[in-house]
Amino acid sequence: MKVTINDVAKQAGVSIKTVSRVMNNEPSVRKDTFDKVMAAINELHYQPNSAARNLASTRSYSIGYIYDNPNAYYIIDMQKGLLDSCKKHGYELLIHPTNAKSPGIVEEVKELVSKSRLAGLILTPPFSEMPHIAQALEEMKVDFVRIVSGSTPSPGVHNCVLIDDFTAAFKITNHLLELGHTEIAFLCGDEEHSSSGERLAGFKAALTKRGLQVNPKFIVPGHYSFESGVEGAKKLMTLPKKPTAIFACNDEIAAGALFSARLMNIRIPEQLSIAGFENSPFSRQTWPPLTTAHQPNSIIASQAAELLFKHTRPNANKAQINAQPVFIPELLVRESTCPASC
Amino acid sequence: MKVTINDVAKQAGVSIKTVSRVMNNEPSVRKDTFDKVMAAINELHYQPNSAARNLASTRSYSIGYIYDNPNAYYIIDMQKGLLDSCKKHGYELLIHPTNAKSPGIVEEVKELVSKSRLAGLILTPPFSEMPHIAQALEEMKVDFVRIVSGSTPSPGVHNCVLIDDFTAAFKITNHLLELGHTEIAFLCGDEEHSSSGERLAGFKAALTKRGLQVNPKFIVPGHYSFESGVEGAKKLMTLPKKPTAIFACNDEIAAGALFSARLMNIRIPEQLSIAGFENSPFSRQTWPPLTTAHQPNSIIASQAAELLFKHTRPNANKAQINAQPVFIPELLVRESTCPASC
DNA sequence: AATTTTTTGACCAGCGCTGTCATCATTTAA
DNA sequence: TTAAATGATGACAGCGCTGGTCAAAAAATT
C-alpha cells in the first residue's frame, strides 16, 4: 500500500541513500543512476513521507505565511499562489493570520518558526515592513521573502518581491489628468503601509509633471477601509472648493467614497470621478464599476515562494540570487471615471 | 535550545513513557503525576515535535480543509475558526482549495489524505454534499466533519454541523411579509448547494403559512454570483407583474440585483425591497446596505473542528458522540428593505 | 497482613528518512 | 603505467517520538 524509499531502492536496484540523493537533487549521481531511480519513483508513485524527512533532516519542508490583512480577496489570492508553488516543490504551507499590532508579535513569530520548524516565511504588508520582524528572523537564520512596495531593487537585498505602486499610481493619476481633471484629491491608506506612501508619491509626481500644484487639502489621511473612504469623501465634498476627481488608495476606500457620494446625492462619474486600486472582485460590482489598477496577486505570491525555495534549497548560493522581481499594477479603466466636463 | 521529551521527563522526575502517556491522555496516570508532568511541560515550554509524532504514531496531527467557494470572506472566516481550534488542540491545518467539479476530484482528495497523512477533514459545501467524497473517506477510514444545510439532526450521524437555512430564510421572508409585501420573488443559488434548496423551502413555507400562493414566475433559478443576481433581477423586473420585494439566496446575488435595479432606474428600497443572506462584509457597504441573515462562520468552523477532534482522539467512543450542533443564522435588518407602500 | 489492582518505568523496535563516513569505481595527472 | 585525486555509491547510526511488553513499585482492597 504505502510506498517507502526502500521500495524505490529495491525497484531501482540501488541503495536507499542514492534514492535520497535523487530526491534532494544532491550532486554526485550519475545520469543513468538518476534515470533509473526516477523511473522507479514514477512507476511506484513514490511520495516521500514529509514527517520522516522533517525528523531526519535539519531543514523542513513547510513554509509559513503570516498575515494581518482585512482584505479577504487579497489573502485568498496570495494563498492560492503560494500553494501552487508549494505543491510544485513538495512543500507544505502553514497559514498564520494574526494581529500585527499585538505587543508580543515578534515572540509569536519566533515561536511559530521554531515550533513548526519552518523552512521559510512569506511576509506581506504590514509584516514585510516591520524591521524588528525581519531582524528576529535573521537572528534565527530563517529564510524569508518579503513582498513590499517599491520600484527600485536595493543592492544586496535578495529576498524581496517589489510592487511598483509608484508607477501604477502615476498611471492612474495620468488617466484622470488626461480626462481633463485638475482638481484631484487623494484618499490615503494606512500610514504604516508603505504602499500608501508610494501611491501618494506617484500621485504627486504625476501632478507635478503636468505643472500642477499639489493642494494639501486634497490629500486626506486615512486607512485601508470602507469607512475611511466614507469619511474622506465626506470631508472632501464639503470643502468650499471641491475636487472633480478622487483617487482612492485602494478599492475599499473607493467603494466607501462611492457610498458617501451617494449619501450626498453626488452623481458618479458625472459630478465626480473616483478611481481605486487593487482590482478586488467587488470593484466590478460597485455602481458604477471602479476604474482601478490590477495587481496579479497570486502570481506575485507564487514568485515570492519560488524565490524562497531558491534560498532554502541546500546547495543554493545565496549571493548569486539577486533577482528582485518587480510587478507594475496595470491601469483598468471602468465607469467610475469620465471626462471632467462630462 | 530544543526541548525534547527527555528533558521533560528529567525535569518531572518521571520516565519518558509517562510523559508520553500524559501527552496522549492515556489512562492510568495518577493525578499528581499528571500534574507534575504538566508543570514540567509548561515550565520548559515543551512542544512535542510533530514530525516525530507523525512518524512514530499511526495517527497524525494535521487536519485538512478542502474547499471550492468563490466567497473569500466565507473562506477566511472558516480558516480562522479552524485555526483557533487547531491551535488549542495542537493540530496543524492544511488548506486545500480546489475545483469541486474536476473529474478526478475523488482521487485528488484521496491523495491529499494519504500523502499528508491527515487525521481528519473538514468539508463545507459543495464537498460536504458530495456522496462519493464521503464514501471515499469512509472507505479510507478517515474521520471528517461536514458542515451542511439542514435543520433536523439525522439519527446515527455524528459528524455534521448543521446550518438551519430553512428557519433563517423563513424569518427573512416573514420580515418582508410583515413589511406588507405580498409579491415577493426569490433568486436561487446553485442547485447543487442544498443551502439554496433549504432557503427556498423556508421562503415557500413562510408564504404558505400566510396563506399566500407561491408564484412560480417569481422563483428564478441561478447561481451564487453577482452576475446571476444581475440577470435574475432583470428578468423579474421586466415581467408584466413585477415583485415588490426580492429575497436573494445570498448577499452576492442581492448585490447583483441591486446593481441591476440601478441600471433600470428602480429605487431601492422605495420601489423594490431586496434582502440577502450571509452577512458578508460587503453587505454593509452596498447602497443601500443589505438586510440579510448573519451566519457566525468562524464559530461554526471551530465547532466543526472540535467535533472532529473528539473523533480522532485515541480513546474516543464514537458511538457516544452524537452531537450535531445546529446554527440558525440571525435576521439583520438594514436599509435595503422597507414597507411595501413606502 | 495478604491480596488484588493500579500506576510507573525500563527496555526495545521501529516509523521513513538524512547525514556522515567509509568504500569502491573512475578519471586525471605524473 | 601507476599513483593520486575525484566521483559515485552504500552501510549505518540516529532524528524524537509512540506502542508494546513485562516487571517492579505503589496504592487500594479485602
**Tens digits of residue pLDDT in B65-93:** 999 988 899 999 999 999 999 988 888 89
Q: Which residues of A touch B117 (CB under 8 A)?
A: 49, 51
- Which of the listed ranges B93-107, B109-123, B151-165, B306-320 does the model predict with the highest average pLDDT? B93-107
**Strand C closer than 7 A to residue B101 Cβ:** no
Residue A35 has pLDDT above 80, yes or no: yes
DSSP H helical segments within chain A, as ranges? 5-12, 16-23, 31-44, 50-56, 72-89, 105-115, 131-139, 165-178, 194-209, 226-237, 251-263, 297-312
Considering chain A, what percentage of its residues have pLDDT values greater than 70? 95
pLDDT over threshold 90, residue A2: no
Question: CA of B16 and C1' of D20: distance in angstroms?
Answer: 15
Q: Is the pTM of this model over 0.85?
A: yes
pLDDT band at B252 (very low <50, low <70, confident <90, very high): very high
B47 closest-nt by C1' vs CA = D16
pLDDT at A311 over 80: no
Give the separation between CA A197 and CA A221, rounded to whole angstroms: 10
Distance B52 CA to C20 C1' (A): 21
pLDDT at A305: 94
Between CA A145 and CA A159 the distance in angstroms is: 5
**pLDDT value at A333 more than 90:** yes
- In this predicted structure, what is the pLDDT of residue B264? 94
Report the pLDDT value the prediction gives residue A281, as an integer from 0 to 100. Answer: 87
Nucleotide showing the shortest C1' distance to residue B36 CA: C8
B23 touches strand C (CB under 7 A): no
Cβ contacts (< 8 Å) between A226 and chain B: which residues?
A: 284-285
Q: Does domain A165-295 sit in CATH 3.40.50.2300?
A: yes
Q: How does residue B17 score in pLDDT terms, banded at 50, 70 and 90?
A: very high
The residue of chain B with its CA nearest to that of A46 is B115
Q: How far is the CA of B18 from the C1' of C11 (A)?
A: 14
Chain A residue numbers touching B96 (CB-CB < 8 A): 83
Which of A74, A76, A93, A334 is best to mutate for the B interface (most B CBs within 10 A)? Answer: A76
Which stretches of chain B sit within 8 Å of chain A by CB? Answer: 47, 49-52, 54-55, 60, 72-73, 75-76, 79-80, 83, 92-97, 114-117, 226, 255-256, 258-259, 262, 281-282, 284-285, 287
Using the CB atom, is residue A25 less than 7 Å from strand C?
no
Lowest mean pLDDT among A55-59, A207-211, B12-16, B139-143: A55-59
Average pLDDT over every residue of A285-304:
93
Q: Do A97 and B79 touch (CB under 8 A)?
A: yes
Question: Dihedrals φ, ψ of B238, to 5°?
Answer: -110, 5
Backbone angles phi, psi at A120, to 5 degrees: -175, 175
- Cβ–Cβ of A287/B259 closer than 8 Å? yes
pLDDT confidence tier of residue B158, bands split at 50, 70 and 90: confident
Distance, in Å, from the CA atom of A77 to the CA atom of B325, rounded to the nearest integer, reads 31
Nearest nucleotide by C1' position to the A4 CA atom: C16
- Within 7 Å of a protein beta carbon, the nucleotides of strand C are 6-11, 14-20
Residue B321: pLDDT band with limits 50, 70, 90: low
Q: Which helix (H) or strand (E) holds B172?
A: helix B165-178
Distance from CA of A158 to the nearest CA of B (A): 29
Q: A309 pLDDT band (50/70/90 cuts)?
A: confident
Residues of A engaging B, defined by a Cβ cutoff of 8 Å: 2, 47, 49-55, 60, 72-73, 75-76, 79-80, 83, 92-97, 115-117, 226, 255-256, 258-259, 262, 281-282, 284-285, 287
Chain B interface test: which of A85, A287, A297 (most B C-beta within 10 Å) = A287
Q: Report residue A154 as a C-alpha cell.
A: 536595493
Instruction: Please report the pLDDT score of residue B342 as a whole number.
Output: 65
Contact A95 B93 (CB under 8 A): yes
Instruction: Give the whole-angstrom CA distance, residue B84 versus residue B89.
Output: 9
Q: What is the mean pLDDT of residues B152-164?
A: 83
Whole-number mean pLDDT of chain B? 90
Domain coordinates of chain B in residue numbers?
5-47, 59-164+297-327, 165-295
What does the pLDDT read at residue B254?
97
Q: Does A130 score more than 80 pLDDT?
A: yes
pLDDT for B251: 95
Neighbours of A30 (CB within 10 A): 9
Query: Is B24 a residue whose pLDDT tops 60?
Result: yes
Confirm whether any atom of chain C, the nucleic acid strand, is less than 7 Å from CB of B13. Answer: yes
Which chain B residues are Cβ-neighbours of A115 within 8 angstroms?
47
Predicted pLDDT of residue B242? 95
Q: What is the pLDDT of residue B146?
A: 94
On the question of pLDDT at A321 being above 60, the answer is no
**Chain A positions in Cβ-Cβ contact with residue B49 (cut-off 8 Å):** 55, 117
Residues of chain A contacting residue B60, judged by C-beta atoms under 8 Å apart: 51
| pLDDT value for A64 | 94
**A301 phi/psi in degrees, rounded to 5:** -65, -45
Which residue in the set B92, B262, B285 is minimally distant from A94, CB to CB?
B92
Task: Measure in Å the smallest separation between the Cα of A6 and chain B Cα atoms.
Answer: 16
Out of A313-317, B223-227, B287-291, pick the least confident. Answer: A313-317
Range scoring the smallest mean pLDDT among A52-56, A176-180, A274-278, B228-232: A52-56
Domain A59-164+297-327 has CATH 1.10.540.10: no
In angstroms, how far is C25 C1' from A61 CA? 34
Is the pLDDT score of B190 beyond 90?
yes
Q: Return the pLDDT at B186.
A: 98
Angstrom distance, A26 CA to D12 C1' = 20
| CATH classification code of B5-47 | 1.10.260.40
Nearest CA-CA partner of A339 in A272, A242, A254: A272
Q: Report how far residue B264's alpha carbon sits from residue A94's, in angstroms, rounded to the nearest whole number.
A: 47
A241 touches strand C (CB under 7 A): no
Q: What is the pLDDT of residue A140?
A: 85
3-state secondary structure of B214: coil
Query: A47-105: per-residue pLDDT in tens?
Result: 888 889 888 887 788 899 999 988 899 999 999 999 999 988 888 899 999 999 999 99
Query: What band does A142 get if pLDDT is binned at 50, 70 and 90?
Result: confident
Instruction: Please state, in angstroms and rounded to a whole number, the distance separating the CA atoms of residues A252 and A266.
Output: 19
Q: Starting at the edge strand that comes first in sequence, how are the strands of the sheet with B245-248 ordered?
A: B219-220, B184-187, B245-248, B273-275
pLDDT more than 90, % of chain A:
66
CB-based contact A285 B255, cutoff 8 Å: yes
Q: Work out the average pLDDT over B129-153.
A: 89
Q: For residue A314, is pLDDT > 60?
A: no
Is residue B194 a contact partner of residue B129, using CB atoms and an 8 Å limit?
A: yes
Chain A residues inside the 8 Å CB shell of B59: none
Q: pLDDT digit string (tens) for A190-229?
A: 998 999 999 999 999 999 999 999 999 999 999 999 999 9
B141 neighbors B116 (Cβ within 8 angstroms):
no
The edge-to-edge listing of strands for the beta sheet with B143-149 is B92-97, B62-67, B120-123, B143-149, B160-163, B326-327
Weakest mean pLDDT among A182-191, B26-35, B235-244: B26-35
A23 CB closer than 7 A to any strand C atom: yes
Say whether A165-295 and A59-164+297-327 share the same fold: yes
